[in-house]
Structure 1
Amino acid sequence: MTRRTAIGIDLGTTYSCVAAWFDEHNRVEIIPNLQGNRITPSCVAWDEAQLLVGEAAKNQSTRNPKNTVFDFKCLMGAKFNDGVVRKDIETRHFKVIEGTTGKPMIVCEHESEEKKFSPEEISSLILKNLKEAAEAFLGTTVTDAVITLPAYFSDKQRQATLDAGVLAGLNVMRLINEPTSAAIAYGLDKSADINSPNEKNVLIFDLGGGTFDVSLLKISKAGTITVKAVGGDTHLGGENFDQLMVNHCVDIFKKREKKDMSKNARAMMRLKIACEKAKRDLSSTTQTPIEIDCLYDGMDFTTKFSRAKFEELNAGFFNMCIKHVENCLRDGNMHKRDVHEVVVVGGSTRIPKVQQMLTEFFDGKPLCKSIHANEAVAYGAAVLAANLSGNGNKRVRDLVLSDVTPLSLGVKLSLDHIMGVVIPRNTPVPTVKECVYETLYGTQVSVVCDEYQGEKKYVKDNIFLDTFTLYGIPAAPKGVEKLKVCFSMDDNGILRVSVEIMSTGNKGSITIAMSGDTSKDEIKKMVKKIKQ
């Protein structure tokens, strides 16, 4: 029986990539998109009556900014009224409103009428485009996939990614953290080196277009990858650097011409694209011009942007990256001198200042750039996809992964709404953790168990996961009855929570599976809508 080919997808904030293992070539190959390029812009647009995805969408963005959707990954699994979400929305040129369930909805004009799309639906269009490219390249139907996501994504964001996979017609075999995926690519690349030590401590520094991840891993020559700690920020990356450049140019234009173009979507989109190009140019030159004809109100815009000015504007973000590295090492109980290799991936790691600061932090240790910055994550995902589907050579089949929880998991304690942590962040999975609590008041006969995820003291500042109620507590004075709370998480990210009344053995439980936050009926409606 022929084994089906499973693909690995790096669903990035600014660019996405798809790859697969080829037994006949005994290696992973990056699959080109339908235009023949190895990476695809994570961009979707509606141009009059036509849906455009990838390069076609990005190429028309300056003339159709309000119907061009990009840099929306941070909206997945989020609530519209989250402070950081509202701040992100302010910099987008497409319209975002609050949906009926409180999640952000993207509004575009399609066939002369407004249509609302969830971030999951937009992501599914990109996934579907990558799936079709893989099918054209492989000459067969593709359904199985491993999809990567930022290590610091919450459970809600992971569930939203799964929903997007379902909408795209994919069977998501596994979600894997982006730096862990890059570590697989690194490990496979180095395992063939006979001079390589049997075990290495490796720090993966992954700075992309919209997210930043840092992971500390132990990689053995036998193929075992153990994640020791993760850190990062889901709102830190190249898009932030671009925005500060745009803001600076807007200020220059305002001073020169006494006009504010910040509310003009088309002018701002043209300026953003020019700044993005200038940012890339500054990785290889110390100064570059930004020249745009008729930018706003018939006026041209010209300025010279220096690498020094770029570094000055973004110094706060760069320092934040190093701070996350420090925190990750501390969480992993490791000194920087014990790190054998510092591996950089993600397009924004090409910025000279980022490389300089990282090298200096590790006391002059050269950075490992042997794996492709834009392709390594998809490469590792393809290796895991081959492993899970029984394909690949011995090194692929021998791969063993051990990951950690990116955020703490716990319950609402006491009447003052403090979060009681049951599973601390960076706990290796699979894991089982138990805590014992007392009843909060006299004659209490039931308990509501609210589960949360996050690092804040109060539950209102963390991410609500689910809830259930356990009845049958014997009436007794406050604190007499004891309740045992058990959190169990397997290596697929499935969390099971149970509460047991210790005096009676009566137990209640709930499974918070990585099966999406959306019902099957809602999925069917979404599939029907995106096919229209």
Structure 2
Amino acid sequence: MADAKRLIGRRFSDASAQSDIKLWPFKVTPGPADKPMIMVSYKGEEKQLAAEEISSMVVVKMGEIAEAFLGTKVKNAVITVPAYFNDSQRQATKDAGAIAGLNVERIINEPTDAALTYGMQQKGTNVGAKNVLIFDLGGGTFDVSLLTIEEGIVEEIKRKHKQDISGNARALKRLRTPCKRVKRDLSSTVQKLIAGLKPVKMCLHDARMDTSSVHDVVLVGGSTRIPKVQKMLQEFFNGKELCKSINQDEAVAYGAAVRAAILDDAVVGDIMRVLIPKNTKVPAKREAIFTTNRDNQSNVLMRVYEGERTRTQDNNLLGEFVSARIPPAPRGVPQINECFELDANGILSVSTEVLLTGQKTKVTITNDKGRLSKEEIEKEAEKYKAEDEEYRKKVEAKLALKTTHTKSGTLSRMRRLTPSSGRLTRKRFKMLLLRPFIG
């Protein structure tokens, strides 16, 4: 079996599913609720497997590899998906992670993660915003995304996708011949398979940009190694040197790992901090000071939630963005001012400022899709009131213990390093440790 990703989150009767099924050598049948089921033979028995089940097997294996390398249990995951995935496909992917026994913290577009990898590689080498075109050509799909990267913040401008390069039956027949011959044939006929550079042209047109506005073209996906693809793309961008410095096969996975690290630092204890309580008169403005929770943390992921539950994961995520770059400093020292402004129309604007540098970022949340009603919020809060209170006490106790341990360990080290002026140094450091709790 293959291409389970092309069925995940789809109905058997979907036109795209039917088109793919005709090209596969294995059998796919309709299951409950029109779910496509893949027929397999295992130990002499015929079985039906959903795409989510097959994907979960892959996730389980990946988890086992990670655990063997890390020597510890893996419980959480960040999973990347093609840019064209709709809500049902993303939810089905999340379900696959749950079947595998993992808590899927985030589903992220593959081009965005590739851009994050590119941004990490270019870190400190450029000043100002850069427009980057991500050309993602894999084994079955083709995505083109145009993003702006500035100080590590990635913003997607436009994307064009749904170019199915597996939809050519004749090409697929060639792909089942010996590998060397396939690569040779594909190099010369890929122009037909991906319908030229139409998605690239459409992406630039929709973003109201021309080729001169693109600073870098980043190649992602194993098929971008095909010489014909690179030649076509380079000619289209007037001879511009293509970015091949990141590994085409690993770029997305690397970006996902970086994103997971950012998420790990996002919310200490997963406790919801309410800045605009319910029944607040609008327009309203609230500010709060946040800080880092590890040494030399370069930025902070700001996530905005709606709801009254104690844990952030139990509330409705409205949006997120990354703060401006934070200069290297011990944990708890940097101060990031976060400002929430809610206007009379219910439009929420959230901005952050790194107080040491004065650099700011801002996002406006206007989309009401998925927003909870007032009644739903109150019902959820009342239903889980006791559970939330118990969880809050556990987290507060855990954080208190962690803070005490950090103070003790740091002061002990400082005694060894500065025996002649220990009193002054310890007093100064105590003030620094208290700063995260101000505001």
Q: Which TM class, normalised by the smaller chain length?
A: 0.5 to 0.7
Indicate if the aligned counterparts of 2:301 and 2:320 stay in contact, CA closer than 8 A. no
Q: 1:327 deviation in Å?
A: 1.4
Q: What are the superposed Cα offsets for residues 454-502 of structure 1, whole Å, 9 maximum, x if unpaired?
A: xxxxxxxxxxxxxxxxxxxxxxxxxxxxxxxx9525xxxxx3387xxxx
Closer/same/farther in 2, CA of residues 328 and 140 from structure 1, 3 Å limit: same
Pick from 368, 376, 396 the counterpart of residue 488 of structure 1.
368
Q: What are the superposed Cα offsets for residues 87-137 of structure 1, whole Å, 9 maximum, x if unpaired?
A: 211121221001121021011122322111100000000000000000000
Indicate if the aligned counterparts of 1:149 and 1:175 stay in contact, CA closer than 8 A. yes
Q: What are the superposed Cα offsets for residues 65-108 of structure 1, whole Å, 9 maximum, x if unpaired?
A: xxxx1122111111111122112111212210011210210111
Matched ranges for 1:1-400 at <5 A: 69-193=1-125, 196-220=126-150, 222-233=151-162, 235-236=164-165, 239=166, 244-247=170-173, 272=176, 274-280=177-183, 282=184, 307=185, 310-311=186-187, 313-320=189-196, 322-390=197-265, 394=296, 397-398=299-300
Q: What are the superposed Cα offsets for residues 207-262 of structure 1, whole Å, 9 maximum, x if unpaired?
A: 11112111111101x211111111111633xx557x534535xxxxxxxxxxxxxx
> What is the DSSP-based 3-state SS (H/G/I as helix, E as strand, rest coil) of the residue aligned with 2:67?
helix
Taking the aligned partners of 2:251 and 2:188, their CA distance within structure 1 comes to 30
Closer/same/farther in 2, CA of residues 82 and 509 from structure 1, 3 Å limit: farther
Greater strand proportion: 1
Q: What are the superposed Cα offsets for residues 364-421 of structure 1, whole Å, 9 maximum, x if unpaired?
A: 111101100000000000000000002987566457899xxxxxxxxxxxxxxxxxxx
Indicate if the aligned counterparts of 2:36 and 2:50 stay in contact, CA closer than 8 A. yes
Paired-residue identity, %? 47
Structure 1 unmatched runs, 5+ = 1-68, 249-270, 283-306, 403-427, 436-485, 490-494, 499-506, 511-532
The aligned amino acid for 1:111 is: K
Give every structure 1 segment of 4 or more consecutive aligned residues whose post-TM-superposition deviation is greater than 6 Å: 399-402, 507-510
Aligned-residue CA RMSD in angstroms?
A: 3.0
Indicate if the aligned counterparts of 1:244 and 1:314 stay in contact, CA closer than 8 A. no
Indicate if the aligned counterparts of 2:39 and 2:46 stay in contact, CA closer than 8 A. yes
> What is the DSSP-based 3-state SS (H/G/I as helix, E as strand, rest coil) of the residue aligned with 1:496?
coil
The aligned amino acid for 1:224 is: I
The aligned amino acid for 2:132 is: V
Aligned residue number for residue 462 of structure 1: none
TM-score normalised per structure 1: 0.51
Q: 1:335 deviation in Å?
A: 1.9
**Higher RCO by CA contacts (8 Å cutoff, separation 6 or greater):** 1
Indicate if the aligned counterparts of 1:225 and 1:401 stay in contact, CA closer than 8 A. no
Closer/same/farther in 2, CA of residues 351 and 396 from structure 1, 3 Å limit: farther
> What is the DSSP-based 3-state SS (H/G/I as helix, E as strand, rest coil) of the residue aligned with 2:218?
strand
> What is the DSSP-based 3-state SS (H/G/I as helix, E as strand, rest coil) of the residue aligned with 2:38?
strand
Closer/same/farther in 2, CA of residues 316 and 125 from structure 1, 3 Å limit: same
The aligned amino acid for 1:343 is: V
Taking the aligned partners of 1:168 and 1:383, their CA distance within structure 2 comes to 22
Q: What are the superposed Cα offsets for residues 323-347 of structure 1, whole Å, 9 maximum, x if unpaired?
A: 1111111222222211100001100
Q: Report the number of matched residues.
A: 294
Indicate if the aligned counterparts of 2:111 and 2:134 stay in contact, CA closer than 8 A. yes
The aligned amino acid for 1:357 is: M
TM-score normalised per structure 2: 0.61
Aligned residue number for residue 312 of structure 2: none
Taking the aligned partners of 1:509 and 1:379, their CA distance within structure 2 comes to 38
> What is the DSSP-based 3-state SS (H/G/I as helix, E as strand, rest coil) of the residue aligned with 1:137?
helix
Taking the aligned partners of 2:40 and 2:264, their CA distance within structure 1 comes to 39
Greater helix proportion: 2
Q: 1:275 deviation in Å?
A: 4.1
The aligned amino acid for 1:204 is: I
Indicate if the aligned counterparts of 1:386 and 1:396 stay in contact, CA closer than 8 A. no
